[in-house]
Structures are given as structure tokens and as C-alpha cells.
Chains A and B, each alone.
Chain A
């Protein structure tokens, strides 16, 4: 069963959402759903004491990803 919610976004937030939907070929619902899954996936790893890093394309820089 799916449930419906209303999401209030600023113009800037909505603009980013619409741009990403266009780039990824997803509806707003599908994109928010995927963002939530990614967030949870990362958060689960951090909760287990793991670390998530982002590496630059040339591998010269590596920073730890922090999430809320």
C-alpha cells in the first residue's frame, strides 16, 4: 500500500528536484524515493561504524562523507 504526502519546497529546492528528475528520467516521487533509499543505505553503514568516502576523479583527494 502506498501513502500520499505533501512536500513543501522552496523555489531553489524545487528547481534542483526538477532538474535532477529531467537528468535521471524519473518522476518527483521516484527521485525522492531513490534519494531516501540512498540516504538510508549510507546511514545504515555509518550506524555500523563504517565510513563513506568520496574520491576525486584523479584519486588525489579523498574526503569522508558526513550525513545528518
Chain B
């Protein structure tokens, strides 16, 4: 079950033109079919190529290839009180998907600007493999990941969290969150389920800056 909540624009890198993209709250079987039938084969192909050429999955931007979105969706649908799902569709395909948490563990700020205040925690965020530099030679759409980060910020504002969001990044995505989005790198967790992953946060003031920039 999903509901259209907004229309955003993605840059088609091939044509140089912006295209309408539909942003949905929730997801349905069509999105999961896209991921299993369209995303996964491309991920698998690149994973095999990387292995053959002794490259890491981070080097080919495919560290999340093993994520099982069907299981994640089921968990979220069973607990809408804590979790939300968002998908971005454009050109007849699912271009990006995100699962967020709005309460409980991980939903408290570590940022020195406002420690322990609530935030939206981005559990998982992924863009379609054909949109990823390094994974394909000529990525299709630009802006899908940023659009979903913006959606998490909007959810944070709606929940009165001041636009604050937090997440643990896979190593290959750290540059994106730090440099492209402007999140603060608060270092790697030394224990717990995210051990070894770096934690990033967008503070209230950074969120305001993020939203003020024309994308």
C-alpha cells in the first residue's frame, strides 16, 4: 500500500533534462518486483565482475547489494508505529527506496549542537544500481538519493524534530553524506549492531542549510 505524497525532479544524465518523479509513502509489490527483477541482476553482475577484478564492493558502489528489501518491508509494515517507507519512481521504475525509524533506539541526537534530542533515523537508503557512479559507466538519473534524504528531513520537520536526521553509512557512501549532503561525521561506532560504521547526522542548522540550497 502506498500513497503519492509529492512530485520531484530527477536529472536524466543522458538527455540533460529533468524528469518528473513520483514520491510515495509506503511501497507495494511492484517496487519489490523492480528491486528483485531489475536491481538485483545488475548488482549480481557487478559483484561478480568486482570479484574477478579483485575490487571491493565499496569500490564499485554495491555494498548494499545483499539487502533484502522484502524482509525489511514486512518488518516495517508490521510496525507502522515506528517505521516508514518511501519510494521514488521515475521512467517506469523504482529509482530509490528508504526506510526510516521515528522512535526508540537510534532516534536520539549525538550532535554537540543538541545532544539527546529526538531525530529521524534513516535505517536504510538505496538508489537503483543504474543511477550509481562507479557501478555503471553512464548513470541514468541524478538526484534520487538526495531527494530521499530531503524526504527524511521533511518527515523530521513534520514530527517537530527540527529537520534532524541521523544514519550509519556504508563506507562507500560516506563521501556522499559528508560532502554532498553536508552531514556531520561523528565517527565510527565502537560497539553495538553498527560497530565499525561511521555515524552521520544532519543538525537542525544543517537541515535548514540543506533545505535552502536549490537542488
Contact = CB atoms under 8 A, between A and B. Distances in A.
Given A24-B117, A37-B81, A41-B82, A30 B160 contact: yes
Interface in A5-37: 24-27, 30, 33-34, 36-37
A46 interface: no
Given A26-B160, A27-B160, A30-B159, A37 B82 contact: yes
Contacts of A24: 116-118
Contacts of A38: 103-104, 107
A38 B121 CA distance: 13
Interface of B: 79, 81-82, 102-105, 107, 114, 116-118, 159-162
Given A24-B117, A24-B118, A37 B162 contact: no
A42 B103 CA distance: 10
A51 interface: no
Residue from B81, B114, B117, B160 whose CB has the most chain A CB atoms within 10 Å = B160
Interface residues on A, range: 10 to 19
5 contacts: A24-B118, A30-B160, A34-B107, A40-B104, A41-B105
A25 B81 contact: no
Nearest to A40: B81
Interface of A: 24-27, 30, 33-34, 36-38, 40-42, 44
A44 B107 CA distance: 16
A64 to B, nearest CB: 16
B117 A25 contact: yes
Going nearest first, the 3 A-B pairs with the smallest beta carbon separation are A37-B103, A41-B104, A30-B160
A26 B103 contact: no
Given A34-B118, A37-B82, A37-B107, 16 more contacts: A24-B117, A24-B118, A25-B117, A30-B160, A33-B103, A33-B159, A36-B103, A37-B81, A40-B81, A40-B103, A40-B104, A41-B103, A41-B104, A41-B105, A42-B104, A44-B79
A61 to B, nearest CB: 18
A26 B104 contact: no
Contacts of A42: 104
